[in-house]
A = this chain, B = another copy of it.
Amino acid sequence: MSKEKDFTHINDKGEPHMVDVSDKTITQRIATASSSVHLPAEVWTALRGEELMSKKGPVLQTAVIAAHMAIKKTADTIPLCHPLPLEGSKIWTEIDRPYIHIFCRVKTTGKTGVEMEALHGASVAALTIYDMCKALSHDIIIESTRLIQKSGGKNDFKMD
């Protein structure tokens, strides 16, 4: 993307603004993001069994629901994000000790993409896992929150 093209759109004073998408085409848009939570050995030892049950309750199920709700609050949280209706969301997790990987996929039909919704969902799932496990250790690190895939906009994207 050329710098020139990009910056013709900037207003003179550089004030923040929500980009005008009124002339963009309505298409079906999908985005998938992931985030990985690194849990130290003492947390893995203490979590009970396959279901990863913590002091506060089941870790993954709480995180998945938190993520679905966060997806819908993205435009309330990220200042210049466009509010838009959503048509579906799906969150899944993979346990790969010492990591829990979270995947978040969002779909809509509209004039702008849903990558921030997917990234926000994955982030909030990761934070919720942190919250559920922090009584056991604070040496938890949320690593590599990133976009995996995106389609339906001007350019598709796929993580290398």
A residues sitting closer than 8 Å to B (CB atoms) are 1, 3, 6-7, 9-11, 13-22, 28, 35, 42, 45-46, 48, 51, 53, 55-58, 61-62, 64-66, 68-73, 75-93, 107-111, 115-116, 119-120, 123-124, 126-128, 130-132, 134-147, 150, 157, 160
* Minimum C-beta distance from A29 to chain B (A): 10
CA distance A131 to B147 in the complex (A): 12
Note all chain B residues with C-beta closer than 8 A to A19: 55-56, 88, 135
Note all chain B residues with C-beta closer than 8 A to A146: 140-142
26 contacts between A and B (CB under 8 A): A1-B42, A6-B55, A9-B55, A14-B51, A17-B57, A17-B91, A18-B56, A18-B86, A19-B88, A22-B28, A62-B79, A62-B80, A65-B65, A65-B79, A68-B79, A68-B80, A78-B127, A82-B87, A83-B86, A85-B85, A116-B127, A123-B126, A123-B142, A127-B145, A138-B147, A140-B146
Q: Tell me if A66 and B79 are in contact (CB < 8 A).
A: yes
Residue of B nearest to A158 (CB): B138
Q: Tell me if B17 and A68 are in contact (CB < 8 A).
A: yes
Note all chain B residues with C-beta closer than 8 A to A46: 1, 3, 6-7
* Contact A62:B16 (CB < 8 A) given known A10-B55, A127-B123, A146-B141: yes
CA distance A138 to B136 in the complex (A): 35
